[in-house]
Amino acid sequence: MPAEDTIFERGLPTNVDAERFVLGSILLDDTTFLQIAGTVDADDFSLEKHRRIFRRMFELHDRGERIDRVTLANELMKHGQLESVDGLAYLVSLDDGLPQISNLESYVRIVKSKSLLRRIILTSQRTIDRCIAGGEDPEDIIANTGEDFMKLGGGTAGAGLSTPQQIIESYEGGLNSFLDPSKRIQGVSTGFLKYDEKTGGMRPGELIIIAARPAMGKTALVLNIAHHVAVKMRQPTAVFSLEMSKESLLTRLLCASARVDSQRFRAGFLNQHERRQLQVAAAELVESPLFIDDSASSSLMDMHAKLKRVRAEHGLGLVIVDYLQLMTSRGRVDSRTSEVSAFSRGLKLMAKELEVPVIALSQLSRAPETRQGDHRPQLSDLRESGSIEQDADVVNFIFREEVYKPDRTDLKGLAELIISKQRSGPTGKVNLVFLHSLTKFENRVGDIDDETPPDE
């Protein structure tokens, strides 16, 4: 924060009376300190003497001592700061004319609001100064400024801690609805029945990782999910493809939906029935709230801005990113691992802010291929993992044993969706069918035991 004389010279937003009343409230009743310190920090005060007073209060509270005029004056004196805050007389004046302490929340809100306005102004000014200096790439300035503003927003996004009573009272329908499983908020269905049973669907705010080695069907699986959510459930779905063009994705969606061999479609050998099926599938997709972006250099800030526009205009039910390791950062990075870790953390924060499930595809290392015997992926196989495993609410792996044993005809089309991590539910395995000609996954008919792998 700038010096206090600079704050007033530049006319930055401030409310000195509200700051005095916040500090005075603590001197009148030091039990209010925890309530205040949970929202305000020293840098939120515009005057340097108020910042010093609040820091000394914090030290007293941290040592378990009472906070009053005498102990505070003594603490300031120990740091040689009593005179710099205008002495004991100023401490005594802090609660002069103080209205009811019941207004404390209002004073705190004013102090916090003015502080945020000052930070917005200073962040904007730094951006203007960098633009005028002209020594940096504009893309770097955009990326860094976007991150700075996201950090500012993150400080006020949360509503703080809530008691069980507050949570239940804010729940639609109250206690009866909260206790009724049929009325609890359900996650977004993937269309894969066994998976939805195990996970309860994809919940708002969740980061869901789907990882696999190349050619296992990562893109095919998420396109199946996107089609189900957008076409069947009519929920707006955004797909960011950093690898394939939007035309290629649409072709896959059409062929899978119409159950037309994608190879025959590309070659142009289609009969009349197949053409009709494609027309029906195309009509469904045209009417669906599906949004596809194939910008190869999409950054987290780009995605965030586009998604906010979609949500404002159409709503938002699901976000898919294909795939994590292809995301780019406009600023300078220390290492690829730290960069990917920043992406996973950013996607998790984005999911929470937009209140929507986010599916991110991820590559795996070569470990499953070199592993003897069982080639099923493990959490340690996540490529450039960093914090992917930590940030994700659910981590799924796609495994098709036929890829490793092409001579086994009994394995053809058998696929597994392995839930290796789930914060709110069990782990396990879901058996699926992979239709090669359609590049499509489907539920396995008649499969009751989804815990036992196929016999080898």
Domain boundaries, the chain: 4-157, 187-443
**In this predicted structure, what is the pLDDT of residue 225?**
93
Per-residue pLDDT tens listing for the chain (456 residues): 555 555 655 678 889 888 988 998 888 888 888 778 767 888 899 899 999 999 999 888 877 788 888 999 999 999 999 999 999 889 888 877 666 566 788 888 899 999 889 888 988 888 898 899 888 888 778 777 776 776 675 554 444 556 677 666 766 667 776 676 655 557 888 989 889 888 888 999 999 999 888 888 889 999 999 999 999 999 999 999 888 888 888 888 888 888 888 788 877 778 888 888 888 888 888 889 999 888 776 677 778 878 888 888 888 999 999 877 777 665 555 566 766 777 788 888 888 888 899 999 988 878 887 777 788 888 877 766 667 778 889 999 999 888 888 888 888 889 999 999 898 888 899 999 998 888 889 898 765 444 444 433
**In this predicted structure, what is the pLDDT of residue 452?**
42
**In this predicted structure, what is the pLDDT of residue 301?**
72
CATH of region 187-443: 3.40.50.300
CATH of region 4-157: 1.10.860.10
- CA 355 → CA 98, 231, 305, distances in Å? 41, 21, 15
**In this predicted structure, what is the pLDDT of residue 101?**
61
Sign for the pseudo-dihedral over CA of 264, 431, 366, 210: positive
**In this predicted structure, what is the pLDDT of residue 332?**
52
pTM, two decimal places:
0.63
